[in-house]
Chain A
Amino acid sequence: MAKILLEMRNITKTFPGVKALDNVNFQVEEGEIHALVGENGAGKSTLMNVLSGIYPYGTYEGDIVYNGNVCKFNTIKDSEKLGIVIIHQELALVPEMTIGENMYLGNERGHKFAIDWNKTYSEADKYLKMVGLSESSKTLVKDIGTGKQQLVEIAKALAKQAKLLILDEPTSSLNEEDSRALLDLMLSFKKQGMTMIIISHKLNEVSYVADTITVVRDGATIETIDNSGQEPVSEERIIKGMVGREMTNRFPKRENVPIGDKMLEVTDWTVHHPLYPERKVVDGVSMYVRKGEVVGIYGLMGAGRTELAMSIFGQTYGTNISGSMKIDGKPVKIRKGADDAIRHKIAYVTEDRKGNGLVLSQSIKVNTSLAHLDAISSHTVIDGDKEYAVAEEYRDKLKIKTPTVEQLVGNLSGGNQQKVLLAKWMFAEPDIMLLDEPTRGIDVGAKYEIYCIINDLAAAGKCVVMISSELPEVLGMSDRIYIMNEGKFVGEMKAEDATQENIMALILKSGRGE
């Protein structure tokens, strides 16, 4: 048995009205990768914030024992001094600064009044090499992709002499390839003796990389699963701990949904980049969706999926859009602007709910009615009671967990925010729903509920396009799947013919230009 590096004993943390952590015990051995899993709001991040000193000593009960000493951290600097470094889910890099500047932000090399730039950049390069990044440390952060930015964050942590590295959802914005590279990097750090804690929703990654898995539920540690054996622990086993019940089926079945005529048909659709008009982002795509059908569009990030959906949705992305569109068999020309698309009964549910989906500073009520204010107003005067009733109706229908619909959307968990976003678009009464990554960053339970909503939509005769970069989800939910790569559709499959292997093979083949 290896030495215990970190022990958190009987940690209790209360916020006004909520007990976020209730008597949590948590142990990490030296040199292991320890995964922390649980649904959103289970208390994982709170626990890590206690550990790193974001919640200072005295605001919680219990002890943190690190390396045999009881620690009383007052600020994040205190924990960093001991080598406990946390990398948050949302990248904290300044886009307009170089990689080197970012890595030593707040930790500058040289004299207090004179930064030693030579030292900064040469040290930065050293750490960049350790994480396998070939960029120069003088490159601006905005010029590299998200995958590389995540590596910069790790290099930054290493530069702080990290001994215990905490990664909060490190792969949530990475594609499969970059994710795998990151996980392999973690494994190679482990060989060099680093201890790591990873928080993740992606259970396949957890079982791939972790030695030990601790499940958190409702502010308490439920169980610790050993994953160091030959056979990795199954995802079902972990999910059982997370939701407290057996999830026999992660994807609810659609039963006897009749598939009707073609509702949306797009032919030879080409979209150019708004800033570089010579670049084709979507290149000659043709597709159709029938009533009652769920069509998956699978592709890696940057394949042009979002751009395709947004260009269909009232040309809200792109310039020089060409191609023809038919709705319900009739050719249509949608004017520029989301309002005209909404009039044609199209809805686009964005992948970026915080960035361009919801108004976080407004209530659930205001967000729900936003895309279809006409329905609750007469002569532009809003009927407040009607609006309230509508918001209540959708809260009920989609099981949005909130004390009142007057609650600000910014205070909700990711899963509930996603439901509000869906509520907004369902209230707009579309026939065609373009769902872009509808389950990104939400927990297993909420995912299941979203899948049920998608099935209900299909059953109501809507046609649903589901864009996703999670293959199991696309395979589990779609009737038909389009595969997209580098702006083109490279394949179309019926759900029963599709497998993980033949989809990936198609993408690889198109990538090689065959």
Chain B
Amino acid sequence: MDKKLVLSALKKNAMLIVLVLVYLFFLILTHGGIFEPSSFTELINQNAYVYILGAGMLMCMLTGGNIDLSCGAFVCLISAIGGVFMILQGLGTGVSILLLLLIGVVYGCVLGFLIAYVHIPPWIATLAGYLSFRGLGTFILSSNSKTGSLAPFPADFRNLFYGRIFPTEKGVFNIPCFLFGIIAAAIVVLSVFSARRNRIKKGYEADTVKQAAIKSGISAAAIILVMTRMAMDGGIPTTLLWVAGIILIYSFITSKTTIGRHFYVVGGNIEAARLSGVNTKRIMFIAYLNMAVLTTIATMPVIARSNSAYANLGKNFEMDAISACVVGGVSASGGAGTVLGMVIGATLIGVINLGMSLISLDANYQRVVKGFVLLAAVVFDILSKKRAK
């Protein structure tokens, strides 16, 4: 019986296991390089945009496998405008961010209106942005700078999105970072057990103490491990807070709120949703408005990290976000998928990228390997689910 439980747990978390295996693989290949403190910080900084765009793409895909092709190019455009605001005009960081968000909202409203109310297929509506935004961004950059790029961004902006909280020297153990990890781990354990107690009190089926302990123990251990490593690399990266905040908010929306529920039922059966009183057009509108706003937010850590706006910024970001969702088990036809799945998918892609650059594999080979690993991961996932049935 116990064996069966373990087996079904393994099958349910197939992609998590793939992630661990791939990590171990690179651990050996990089002689522990991927376990260095700096690798942890790098992983989060390098992939912040995948998590943020992934959350937006998840919401779009839930409504029926719809995607946004324009987000990568929109990152380029926003970065160019942001460069003009902050570097050339010298507007304050707060004002600039607000203005950029406003632009995101305007684009989101236009896109959402076209898709939800004019019924333009999403991939066509966003293809226009995909084609034109990079051109527009490049035009802004080249007409404002001889080199075709704008740099550097103001220090307070960079600190906000690419800094450290309570920074310490590298190699010195950062106590706030460690404490943060302990607190987060404690919250996870407490919430698992209190949910369990609640279910038992109301007479519903609940995990055994052992199951709950294993479940929460693994997550808590992982959190503490990551935070302890990061503590050796100068403290909590601000990027981590932005990403964690967005992940938590969207987990909550998708799993606990009525509007999140509406996204799932619209993707599951749009006619049934409409006849049950769901405003299906509004859901489609919100999906793309939300995507545009998240794209604007995702641009911030990207330009803070690169410290310049240039024409190739944001290239293939849309594909990274879509891959993270698909690898994370989000249904390509809509109606199914979780934020947690997307996070695991994004992390897997991030680990592969980081691992390969640590062993300094040729960039072209990197693409080849990435393509095949992603395919293999999804095949593994589908096969294990089939078996589980």
Q: A interface vs B, CB < 8 Å?
A: 313, 316, 337-339, 341-342, 348, 350, 355-362, 366, 370-371, 373-374, 377, 380-382, 384-385, 388-389, 404, 424
Give the interface SS of chain B, mostly helix, strand, loop or mixed: helix
Can you list 6 A-B pairs with a CB-CB distance of less than 8 A?
A: A350-B275, A355-B271, A359-B264, A362-B268, A377-B258, A384-B256
Given the known inter-chain contacts A338-B275, A371-B276, please indicate yes or no for A359 contacting B258, CB distance below 8 A: no
Which residues of A sit under 8 angstroms from B277, Cβ to Cβ? 337-339, 341-342, 371
Within 8 A of A (CB), among B272-306: 272-279
Name, among B271, B276, B279, the residue most crowded by chain A CB atoms within 10 Å (CB to CB).
Answer: B276
- Tell whether, in the assembled complex, residue A338 and residue B274 are in contact, meaning their CB atoms are under 8 Å apart: yes
Q: Is the CB of A382 within 8 A of B256?
A: yes
B257, B271, B273: the one contacting A381 at CB < 8 Å is: B257
Given contacts A362-B264, A385-B198, A356 and B275 within 8 Å (CB-CB): yes
Contact of B269 with A360 in the complex, beta carbons under 8 Å: yes
Contact of A388 among B204, B258, B268, B269 (CB under 8 A): B204
Q: Whole-angstrom distance between the alpha carbons of A371 and B272 in the complex?
A: 10
Answer whether residue B335 sits at the interface, using C-beta atoms and an 8 A cutoff.
Answer: yes
Known A337-B277, A338-B277, A385-B202; judge A359-B261 contact (CB<8 A): no
B213 within 8 A of A: no
A residues less than 8 Å from B279 (CB atoms): 337, 339
Contact at B258–A382, with CB atoms within 8 Å?
yes
Which residue on chain B has the smallest CB distance to residue A421? Answer: B272
Does B336 belong to the interface (CB within 8 Å)? yes
Docked-complex contact A380 and B275, CB < 8 angstroms:
no
Asked if B259 CB lies within 8 Å of chain A CBs, one says yes
A337 surroundings in chain B (CB, below 8 A): 277, 279
How far in angstroms is the closest Cβ of chain A from B192? 15
Q: Which residue of A lies closest to B334 (CB)?
A: A361
B233 to chain A, nearest CB (A): 37
Near A by CB (< 8 A), chain B positions 91-117 give: none
B269 near A382 with CB under 8 A, answer no
In B332-352, the 8 Å CB interface with A consists of 335-336
Which single residue of chain A is at the shortest CB-CB distance from B331? A361
Chain A residues near B259: list those with CB within 8 A. 380
> Of all chain A residues, which has the CB nearest B269?
A359
A356 and B268 alpha carbons, distance in the complex (Å): 11
Any chain A CB within 8 A of the CB of B58? no
Q: How far is the CA of A388 from the CA of B205 in the complex (A)?
A: 11
Inter-chain contact B269/A358, CB cutoff 8 Å: yes
Output the least CB separation between B196 and chain A (Å).
13
Q: Is the CB of B265 within 8 A of A359?
A: yes
Q: Residues of B contacting A371 with CB < 8 Å?
A: 276-277
Query: What 3 A-B pairs are tightest by C-beta distance, nearest first?
Result: A356-B271, A359-B268, A339-B277
Q: Shortest beta-carbon distance, B151 to chain A, in Å?
A: 43
The answer on a CB contact under 8 Å between A380 and B269 is: no
Q: Which residue of B lies closest to A370 (CB)?
A: B276
Measured CB to CB, the closest approach of chain B to A411, in angstroms, equals 10
- Besides A380-B258, A382-B257, 4 new A-B residue pairs in contact (Cβ under 8 A), listed by A number: A339-B279, A342-B277, A361-B336, A382-B258
Complexed CA–CA distance, A179 and B255 (Å): 47
Of chain B, the residue at the smallest CB distance from A383 is B256
Over the window 249-266 of chain B, the binary record of Cβ atoms lying under 8 Å from chain A Cβ atoms (1 yes, 0 no) is 000000011110100110
Which of B198, B272, B335 lies in contact with A356, CB distance below 8 A?
A: B272
Chain A min CB distance to B257 (Å): 5
Residues of chain A with a CB closer than 8 A to B258's CB = 373-374, 377, 380-382
Query: Please, which residue of chain B has its CB at the minimum distance from the CB of A425?
Result: B276
Bound Cα distance A366, B273 (Å)? 11
The answer to whether A362 touches B257 (Cβ under 8 A) is no
Contacts of B202 on A, CB cut-off 8 Å?
385, 389
The number of chain B residues with a CB under 8 A from chain A is: 25
- Chain A residues near B256 (CB-CB < 8 A): 381-382, 384
Do the beta carbons of B257 and A370 come within 8 Å of each other? no
Question: When chains A and B are docked, how far (Å) is the Cα of A362 from the Cα of B275?
Answer: 16
Interface centre among B256, B261, B275, B279 (most CB of A within 10 A): B275
- Give the docked Cα–Cα distance between A348 and B273 (Å): 13
Taken together as a complex, chains A and B put the C-alpha atoms of A7 and B275 apart, in Å, by 48
- What CA separation (Å) do A357 and B205 show in the bound complex? 29
Chain B residues whose CB sits within 8 angstroms of the CB of A348 once the complex forms: 275
A316–B276 CA distance with the chains assembled, in angstroms? 11
Q: How far is the CB of B274 from chain A (nearest CB, A)?
A: 6
Q: Chain B's nearest CB lies how many Å from the CB of A310? A: 8
Whole-angstrom distance between the alpha carbons of A362 and B272 in the complex? 12
Question: In the assembled complex, how far is the CB of residue A351 from the closest CB belonging to chain B, in whole angstroms?
Answer: 12
* CB of B12 to closest CB in A, whole Å: 14
CA distance A377 to B265 in the complex (A): 17
Which residues of chain B are within 8 angstroms of A360 by Cβ–Cβ distance?
268-269
Residues of A near B205 (CB, < 8 A) are 404
A424 near B276 with CB under 8 A, answer yes
Whether B257 and A356, one on each chain, are in contact in the complex, defined by CB atoms closer than 8 angstroms, is: no
A residues less than 8 Å from B268 (CB atoms): 359-362
Nearest B residue to A339 via CB reads: B277
Whether B275 and A358, one on each chain, are in contact in the complex, defined by CB atoms closer than 8 angstroms, is no
**Cβ contacts B353-380/A at 8 Å (1 or 0 each):** 0000000000000000000000000000
Nearest-neighbor residue (CB-CB) of A376 within chain B = B258
A338 to B275: give the CA distance in the assembly, Å. Answer: 6
CB distance B272 to A359 under 8 Å?
yes
Contact flags (1/0) for B198-209 with A, using CB distance below 8 Å?
A: 110010110000
Q: CA–CA, A312 to B358, complex, Å?
A: 65
Task: State which of B204, B257, B269, B278 has its C-beta within 8 Å of the C-beta of A385.
Answer: B204
What's the Cα separation between A337 and B272 when bound, in Å? 13
Smallest Cβ-Cβ distance to A343: which chain B residue: B277
Whole-angstrom CA separation of A361 from B336 in the bound complex? 8
Note all chain A residues with C-beta closer than 8 A to B198: 385
Task: Say how far B112's CB is from chain A's closest CB, in angstroms.
Answer: 18
The distance in angstroms between the C-alpha atoms of A423 and B107, with both chains bound, is 41
CB atoms of A362 and B335 under 8 A apart: yes
Which residues of chain B are near A359, meaning CB under 8 Å?
264-265, 268-269, 272-273, 335
> What residues on A are CB-neighbors of B336 within 8 Å?
361
Alpha-carbon distance between A366 and B261 when the two chains are bound, in angstroms: 8
**A338 vs B278: C-alpha distance when bound (angstroms):** 8
Asked if A357 and B275 make an inter-chain contact with CB atoms under 8 angstroms apart, the answer reads yes
B268 to chain A, nearest CB (A): 4
Distance between Cα atoms of A246 and B265 in the complex (Å): 42
CB-defined contacts of A374 to chain B, threshold 8 Å: 258
Indicate if the CB atoms of B276 and A338 lie closer than 8 Å.
yes
| A381–B253 alpha-carbon span in the complex (Å) | 8
The answer to whether A370 and B265 touch across the interface, beta carbons within 8 angstroms, is yes
The B192-241 residues at the A interface (CB cut-off 8 A) are 198-199, 202, 204-205
Cα of A361 to Cα of B264 in the assembled complex, Å? 9
Distance from A281 Cβ to chain B, minimum over Cβ atoms (Å): 18
Q: Which of B261, B274, B275, B335 contacts A373 (CB 8 A)?
A: B261
Contacts of B275 in A (CB 8 A): 313, 316, 338, 348, 350, 356-357
Query: Which single residue of chain A is at the shortest CB-CB distance from B205?
Result: A404
Q: Separation in Å of the A311 CB from the closest CB of chain B? A: 13
For the complex, give the distance between the alpha carbons of A339 and B276 in Å.
7
Given the known interface contacts A355-B271, A360-B268, A362-B268, the answer about A382 and B261 at a Cβ–Cβ threshold of 8 Å is: yes
Q: How far is the CB of B80 from chain A (nearest CB, A)?
A: 37
Shortest CB-to-CB span from B10 to chain A, Å, is 18
Query: What residues of chain B lie closer than 8 Å to A382, measured between beta carbons?
Result: 256-258, 261
Per the bound structure, the CA–CA distance linking A356 and B280 in Å amounts to 13
- List the A residue with the shortest CB-CB distance to B252: A381
B-side contacts of A389, CB under 8 Å: 202
Q: How far is the CB of A389 from chain B (nearest CB, A)?
A: 8
B276 contact set on A, CB distance < 8 A: 338, 342, 370-371, 424
Cα of A404 to Cα of B335 in the assembled complex, Å = 21
| B199, closest chain A residue (CB) | A385
**Max chain B C-beta neighbours (<10 A), residue from A313, A370, A384:** A370
Instruction: For the complex formed, measure the closest distance between the CB of B203 and the CB atoms of chain A, giving whole angstroms.
Output: 10
Residues in B with CB closer than 8 Å to A316 are: 274-275
Min Cβ gap A392→B in Å is: 9
Closest to A389 in B: B202
* Residue from B257, B272, B335 within 8 A of A357 (CB atoms): B272
